[in-house]
Amino acid sequence: MFTKRLAAFLMAGALGLTACDESFGPEGNATPEDREEILTLLDESGFFADDFGLDGAYNDAQPAASALAPAAEVVAPRMWGRRRGLPVRRVITVDVDPQEGVATVSKEVFFEGRFLLDITQDDQFNPTEKPLVEKLVQYATFRRRTQEELDAQGRRWKLVNVSPAEWMMTAEDKRTVNITKVEVWVNEELKAEIVDASEMLDVDSRIPKLHPEDMVTVKAWVDNSVDNGNEPDTFVFLHLFHATPSSRAWVRLPMELLTTDTDSYYTRSWQVRHTGRARMAVDAIDAQTFTTETEDDYRANIWGVPYRIVPVDDVAP
């Protein structure tokens, strides 16, 4: 019965947001043929989607806040999530430098959705919602292939660099939660260090290349400039697509805050289960978001780090 109520609520939310307008910004100087090929290659890469994780509220299997907890202590509710809906505006620019044989892509996608949560301590699924107004920013570069390098489909462009995806608050004054660094460790070896979500990652050398059964540890450094007296002041989660043993499916895992004499960061380890390409998303949310039912206090910053998983005997880049 609970699952049916959840499904019905998510369907109602989907219907309520399908009326959002979508408009396209300047397309750059690329020819229609080049633009179509480049955007198709980005879509096939698995690194350039608009979303991450499950859409809507779902159960984290976390305990509800204790009635005996101190007033300032915050516990993430068992049911929460996002429903971004369709973009209200999408600006994808593809510019080609014919002399250099290089194409640059920038993408901004604007959402006006809802943050869903159920902070009531009962057995009923009765989530409330609050405004979610944020945008996604990402970049990529391509190199034009020579005639000898054309792929089997005769396509002329090759993806060479892609940035992490970053979801941020659309209003600058609401960007109070900020991820400042993410590290990806594979079998205790540092494979990627990112200190700016706009930095370009070489597809062949800087995107983490994983194998099934690898143990991956993600570390994230986060700043929160607003002191609401909450403890903790920020919750950080890791969204993954290839960590479920039985199937490929999104999971959301809370990250643990570790504090040493000189540093504090959030961390979570996971084991690779399937081959494929996707992004692991580090999701930092102001704890104040989880203390009210309908206030406009959602603040978050998300970095989606691209990765590829190949069989152990696959040595291709």
Segment 130-153, tens digit of pLDDT = 999 999 999 999 999 998 888 888
In a domain, 94, yes or no: yes
Query: Long-range CB contacts (< 8 A, 24+ apart) of 160-163?
Result: 160/202, 160/203, 160/204, 161/200, 161/201, 161/202, 161/203, 162/45, 162/47, 162/48, 162/138, 162/200, 162/201, 162/203, 162/207, 162/306, 163/138, 163/139, 163/197, 163/198, 163/199, 163/200, 163/201
Q: Which of 60-64, 178-182, 247-251 has the highest mean pLDDT?
A: 178-182
In a domain, 157, yes or no: yes
Domain that holds residue 103: 2-309
* Mean pLDDT on 125-134: 93
Q: In the predicted model, is pLDDT for residue 252 greater than 50?
A: yes
- Rounded CA gap, 75 and 61, in Å? 12
The pLDDT, as a whole number, for residue 148 is 87
The number of folded domains in the chain is: 1
In a domain, 315, yes or no: no
Distance set, CA 125 to CA 1, 79, 114, 117, 169 (Å): 10, 8, 17, 10, 28
Q: By the 8 A CB rule, do 274 and 133 touch?
A: no
In a domain, 316, yes or no: no
pLDDT band (50, 70, 90) for residue 121: confident
pLDDT digits (tens, 9 = 90+) for 52-88: 999 999 887 654 443 344 556 899 898 999 999 999 9
In a domain, 70, yes or no: yes
In a domain, 314, yes or no: no
